[in-house]
Amino acid sequence: MRRYVRLFLFPLGILFLFAFQPSSNDEYIVIGWNDLGMHCMNKDFSNLAILPPYNNLMAQVIKKGNSSTNPKVITDEMKITYEIPGNTYSVGKTNFWTYAKHLFGVDLKDDIGLTGKGLTGVMDKKDNYYLAEGIPITPFTDNDHINEDPYQLAHLKVYNSSNIVMTSTNTVIPVSTEMNCVGSGCHSSEQHILNKHDKEDGFDPNKKPILCASCHASNALGTKGQHEAKSFSFIIHDKHAEKAKDNCYKCHPGEKTQCYRDVMLKAGLKCQNCHGTMKEIAKSIEKGRQPWLEEPSCGSSICHGSAFAEEKGKLYRQSKGHGGIYCSACHGSPHAIVPTGELTRDNVQNVALQGYEGILAKCEVCHGIKPDGLGPHNILLTQVKIEDESISSSGTKFNNPYPNPAINKITIPFDLNEEGNVNIEIFDMAGNHQITAVNQFLLSAQYSIDVDLRTLNSGSYVYILSLNGKKIKGNFNVAK
């Protein structure tokens, strides 16, 4: 009812909106993400500090393509602002600002973080992306200073040079204080931790608060370490391995927060599958691994292999793939690789962009059309043709592909007796993934696909259709 009244009263305003919004919203998209998937911070800085409030958002703006132009990642002319609706201040939710000078040697205005960024502001332009580094957000919303909301949504708005909003998005800005040495039931108090620390190299439990990384080197804070103190990651994992019983959530957030929440958790992987045990983490540092800068890789040969690898020498969060777009832009942040589990907020952005959750896979989102050529990871776009809308009487199956052997193109007919997300992958005889031919939701009917084989050499290949947990196989030969 209220809507109608407003329509009636402000017809001009409505017209104005119509004149601008639809066309501009069609032309650009913005994708935002968090660099790490989780940022920890202390809540109370009066005794010791492990990490300050310091969160990083990244974003890319893409000018969409159409039948005559390719999409383009742009940074000129556009400005991006960020804000966290419902979370507008931090002073009073943590005592960081009382101790910032003592801990980090800088005078900070209220609600301004170590890099000068506040809870709202303008992102900085980098080569082909935007960055807001050091946002001092806490997990406490304005309405609740007690219960954490570790997965709040940041809102990003893209303005053109005339200050008109061209597009916007929402993305999770994760933060948690659930790394408490005391709350996990291990240490009786923070003072106790300080009192227990050897009085080495002038360690004085009364010179509070104490920044652990001021002596123990930490690449998270960029400290080089002092005296004889070993690296923070080494000392913490090495000394606590037995007491913590290798339960990473004793310190990393955490039993409540569940920072690792992604598609690989659903597949059954544990922290240790990728990182090793606490002892192994420590040992690898002793052997020369740089904590924070050398981490597991998606592209390792025992995981997804070279077709899905990071850029050489770079971390996942630093790598770009298809069209200069960051891996995280299509897949999400580390430990929050979409589709994530319970937490729907990680999925909202891709649902808004392409209509369904999961990897940003729909070519039209950026290209405006379905391009004819290699997509991300050399996905060859395969047109799925409906041959007959009726359901085949002999069940879900492949029919003979033709021509076989094939040269550059093969047609594979298949029948579906049920609906669902259909995935058809092509592998060589050694089991190496070659082509994703289909990855989309299909209704039951009889179909065929024309698969582009230009990237394959002569040899034998297997194709596997997965649907609702079932797998069906077929094979063909390529002779060039």
Q: Which one of the spans 14-22, 224-232, 384-392, 458-466 is the region binding ligand HEC (CB under 6 A)?
A: 224-232
Residue 358 binds to ligand HEC (criterion: CB under 6 A): no
CA angle (123, 79, 22) in 5-degree steps: 130
Q: Which of 52, 71, 174, 332 binds ligand HEC (CB under 6 A)?
A: 71
Please give the Cα distance from 189 to 114 (Å, whole number).
27
Size of the site for ligand HEC (CB under 6 A): 93
Q: Which of 103, 135, 236, 406 binds ligand HEC (CB under 6 A)?
A: 236
Q: How far is the CB of 21 from ligand HEC (least distance, A)?
A: 22
Yes or no: say if 473 and 400 are a contact pair by the CB < 8 Å rule.
no
* Encoded amino acid at 10, one letter: F
Q: Which of 335, 350, 449, 467 binds ligand HEC (CB under 6 A)?
A: 335
Yes or no: say if 333 and 34 are a contact pair by the CB < 8 Å rule.
yes
Q: Which C-beta is closer to ligand HEC: that of 381 or that of 464?
A: 381
Query: Which residues 302-331 are close enough to bind ligand HEC by CB under 6 A?
Result: 304, 308-311, 315-317, 319, 321-323, 325, 327, 329-331
* Encoded amino acid at 56, one letter: N
By beta carbon distance, the residue nearest ligand HEC is: 323
Q: How far is the CB of 470 from ligand HEC (least distance, A)?
A: 17
Q: Which of 79, 187, 275, 397 binds ligand HEC (CB under 6 A)?
A: 275
Query: Which residues 243-272 are close enough to bind ligand HEC by CB under 6 A?
Result: 244, 246, 248, 250-252, 260, 264, 269, 271-272
Q: How far is the CB of 318 from ligand HEC (least distance, A)?
A: 7
Yes or no: say if 326 and 320 are a contact pair by the CB < 8 Å rule.
yes
Token pair in block for residue 411: 């047609």
Please give the Cα distance from 439 to 224 (Å, whole number).
47
Query: Which residues 145-204 are close enough to bind ligand HEC by CB under 6 A?
Result: 193, 197, 200-203
Q: Which one of the spans 8-16, 133-141, 235-243, 466-474 is the region binding ligand HEC (CB under 6 A)?
A: 235-243
| Residue whose C-alpha is closest to residue 99's, from 177, 43, 45 | 45
Distances (CA, A) of 399 to 40, 417, 459: 54, 14, 20
Burial, 400: exposed, middle or buried (Cβ in 10 Å; 0-12, 13-18, 19+)? exposed
Please give the Cα distance from 170 to 32 (Å, whole number).
7
Residue 377 binds to ligand HEC (criterion: CB under 6 A): yes
CA angle (240, 337, 443) in 5-degree steps: 145
**In the chain, what is the straight-line distance between the N-terminal and C-terminal CA atoms, in Å?**
68
Residue 117 binds to ligand HEC (criterion: CB under 6 A): no
Q: How far is the CB of 140 from ligand HEC (least distance, A)?
A: 21
Query: Which residues 2-61 are close enough to bind ligand HEC by CB under 6 A?
Result: 36-37, 48, 50
CB atoms within 10 A of CB 146: 6
Query: Which residues 283-302 are close enough to bind ligand HEC by CB under 6 A?
Result: 285, 291-292, 295-296, 298
